[in-house]
Amino acid sequence: MTKEEYYPEETLVEKVQSGEYGWKDYVWHHSREWRTEYEKYCRLRDLPMDDDTALRFLDMKQEEIETALADGDA
């Protein structure tokens, strides 16, 4: 079994900007929690796990953060 590698957000941004990673890789290497959430997000919507769906997932996460901030929960 391969070891799951997770990176700080700054490292992930650098990898995306350099072209080394796409958005799916960004989500995949963010955290175990995000990986699990992303898999469920795709499975429940019958979507492929690719850069397009990863970007939609990231949009959803951003909305969650903004809502939590607005509600004083973050």
> pLDDT of 30-68, one tens digit each?
999 999 999 999 999 999 999 999 999 999 999 998 998
Q: What number of other Cβ atoms are within 10 A of residue 34's Cβ?
A: 19
| pLDDT for the residue numbered 45 | 97
| CA terminus-to-terminus distance, the chain | 36
The Cα 72–Cα 43 span in angstroms is 31
| pLDDT for the residue numbered 71 | 87
- Please answer whether residues 54 and 22 qualify as being in contact, where contact means their C-beta atoms are separated by less than 8 angstroms: yes
| pLDDT for the residue numbered 1 | 47
| pLDDT for the residue numbered 17 | 98
pLDDT exceeds cutoff 80 at 3: no
* Domain locations along the chain: 9-66
| pLDDT for the residue numbered 2 | 58
